[in-house]
């Protein structure tokens, strides 16, 4: 990890936000078997650095879009744990009143304007939202998160072309975790395919970074924000990362044999949280006691949030048709 000129306050805030996401998701994994969360869950354990490195420098009014794997993006963007768990438990405390579930988080207060599990589907929505902002002269930023699998959809290519044509200042963030469900990228894309060439072919700036190094992510995104503010054109950043757990669900999936343990272990070793924690302890920016204390408080906060959520109500059946159309 490049430890030159680390801002300790920033680094601690990045670390604490990654802890929060990791702890919440591990608790979801832990309690999933109780079958009270009745929606599928796609956990981001191992991928926290991208969400945090990007969202830590966004304002509340900046907007993000996500897909099926959206918990990290929502929490990193300032989303509320109760409102997220409410959604997973289908309770009226959820950010979509429990009607959406894990794959349809939406919370305008946090600037998450859509998370939709149809792969690629939020990319044109993000481009449209950013275009609207441009036409209205609004300065808030628009960031669209998607996996490398989404770059194989037609709508991704149409959206990129449209954003380039109209100089729409949107930041596309591609989290390349090598897999789309159970299929490795080498079994889906030709050897010659290059996302960089595709993007640059449209005249869009392409950047690439280590998605397990939150300081790197933060720096690249900071530069990208300056780029879109100055040049007022789109940009795409591809981050390499890895999900530790199964594609959908709370478990490790070594038994499925579509990826081997050596590969998984290698990535687990590159844990974004462990790397930053070790660096900050070594630099004496944080002490073990401070870490333990923070993690204990976090555990209590999360436990209480689960307890409140379990006790919360479901919406009454007669509200089924509410909120379908905007008033």
Task: Give long-range contacts, CB 8 A cutoff, 24+ apart: 220-225.
Answer: 220/53, 221/53, 221/54, 221/57, 221/171, 221/173, 222/57, 224/171, 225/57, 225/141, 225/171
Q: Between 108 and 118, name the residue whose CB sits nearer to ligand TPP.
A: 118
Token representation of residue 302: 């999360």
In 3D space, the residue among 175, 74, 172, 195 whose CA is nearest the CA of residue 125 turns out to be 172
Can you tell me which residue has the tokens 């979509």?
A: 96
CB of 268 to Mg ion, least distance (A): 17
- Go through 211-240 and write b for each residue having 16 or more CB atoms within 10 A of its CB, e for each that does not: bbbbbbbbebbeebbebbeeeebbbbbbbb
Q: How far is the CB of 147 from ligand TPP (least distance, A)?
A: 2
In this structure, are residues 155 and 121 in contact, taking their beta carbons and an 8 Å threshold? yes
Measure the CA angle with vertex 88, ends 84 and 93; round to 5°: 55
Q: Which is nearer to Mg ion, 53 or 149 (CB)?
A: 149
The least distance separating Mg ion from the CB of residue 180, rounded to whole angstroms, comes to 5
Choice from 33, 59, 165, 181 touching ligand TPP (CB under 6 A):
181
Indicate which single residue of 66, 102, 122, 177 sits in contact with ligand TPP (rule: CB under 6 A).
Answer: 177
Binding partner of 87, given Mg ion, ligand TPP, none, CB within 5-8 angstroms per partner class = none
| Token output for 163 | 């954003």
Residues 64-123 that bind ligand TPP (CB under 6 A): 68-69, 117-119
Tell me which of Mg ion, ligand TPP, none is bound by residue 181, counting a contact when its beta carbon lies within the kind-specific cut-off of 5 to 8 angstroms: ligand TPP
Exposure string for 28-56, b = 16+ CB within 10 A, e = fewer: bbebbeeeebeeebbbbbbbbbbbbbbbb
Report yes or no: 273 and 20 within 8 Å, Cβ to Cβ.
Answer: no
Within residues 23-82, the interface with Mg ion by CB under 5 A covers none
Q: How far is the CB of 149 from Mg ion (least distance, A)?
A: 5
Pattern of binders to ligand TPP over 218-257, x per CB under 6 A?
-----------------------------x----------
Q: Which of residues 147-176 bind ligand TPP (CB under 6 A)?
A: 147-150
Does 147 bind Mg ion (CB under 5 A)? Our answer is: yes
Tell me the closest approach of the beta carbon of residue 65 to ligand TPP, in angstroms.
13
Closest to ligand TPP by CB, 147 vs 272, is 147
CB 212 within 8 A of CB 51: no
Nearest distance from residue 247's CB to ligand TPP, in Å? Answer: 6
* Residues in CB range of 90: below 8 A, 6 or more apart: 38, 39, 98, 99, 101, 314
CA within 13 Å, CB half, 73? 30
Closest CB 123 distance from ligand TPP, rounded Å: 11
Closer of 75 and 119 to ligand TPP (Cβ): 119
Q: Which is nearer to ligand TPP, 59 or 256 (CB)?
A: 256
Cβ-based nearer residue to Mg ion, 124 or 149: 149
How far apart are CB 185 and ligand TPP at their closest, in Å? 8
> Which residues lie near ligand TPP (CB under 6 A)?
68-69, 117-119, 146-150, 177, 179-181, 247
Residues that bind Mg ion (CB under 5 A): 147-149, 177
């Amino acid at each position: 990890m490049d430890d030159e000129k680390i801002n300790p306050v920033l680094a601690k805030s990045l670390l604490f936000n990654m802890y929060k996401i990791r702890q919440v998701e591990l608790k979801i994994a832990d309690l999933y078997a109780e079958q009270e969360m009745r929606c599928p869950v796609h956990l981001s354990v191992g991928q926290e650095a991208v969400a945090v490195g990007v969202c830590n420098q966004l304002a509340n009014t900046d907007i993000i879009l996500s897909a099926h794997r959206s918990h990290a993006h929502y929490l990193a963007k300032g989303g509320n744990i109760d409102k997220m768990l409410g959604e997973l438990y289908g309770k009226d405390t959820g950010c979509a009143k429990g009607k959406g579930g894990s794959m349809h988080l939406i919370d305008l207060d946090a600037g998450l304007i859509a998370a939709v599990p149809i792969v690629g589907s939020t990319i044109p929505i993000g481009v449209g939202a950013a275009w609207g902002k441009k036409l209205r002269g609004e300065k808030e930023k628009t960031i669209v998160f998607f996996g490398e699998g989404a770059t194989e959809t037609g709508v991704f290519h149409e959206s990129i072309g449209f954003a380039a044509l109209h100089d729409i200042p949107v930041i596309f963030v591609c989290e390349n975790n090598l897999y789309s469900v159970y299929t490795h990228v080498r079994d889906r894309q030709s050897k010659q395919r290059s996302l960089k060439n595709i993007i640059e072919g449209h005249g869009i700036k392409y950047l690439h970074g280590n998605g397990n190094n939150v300081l790197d992510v933060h720096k690249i995104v900071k530069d990208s924000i300056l780029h879109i503010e100055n040049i007022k054109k789109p940009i795409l950043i591809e981050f390499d990362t890895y999900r530790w757990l199964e594609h959908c669900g709370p478990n490790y999936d070594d038994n499925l044999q579509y990826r081997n343990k050596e590969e998984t272990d290698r990535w687990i070793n590159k844990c974004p949280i462990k790397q930053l924690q070790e660096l900050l302890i070594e630099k004496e920016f944080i002490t073990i006691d401070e870490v333990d204390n923070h993690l204990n408080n976090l555990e209590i906060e999360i436990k209480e949030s689960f307890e409140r959520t379990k006790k919360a109500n479901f919406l009454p059946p007669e509200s089924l048709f509410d909120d379908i159309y905007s008033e």
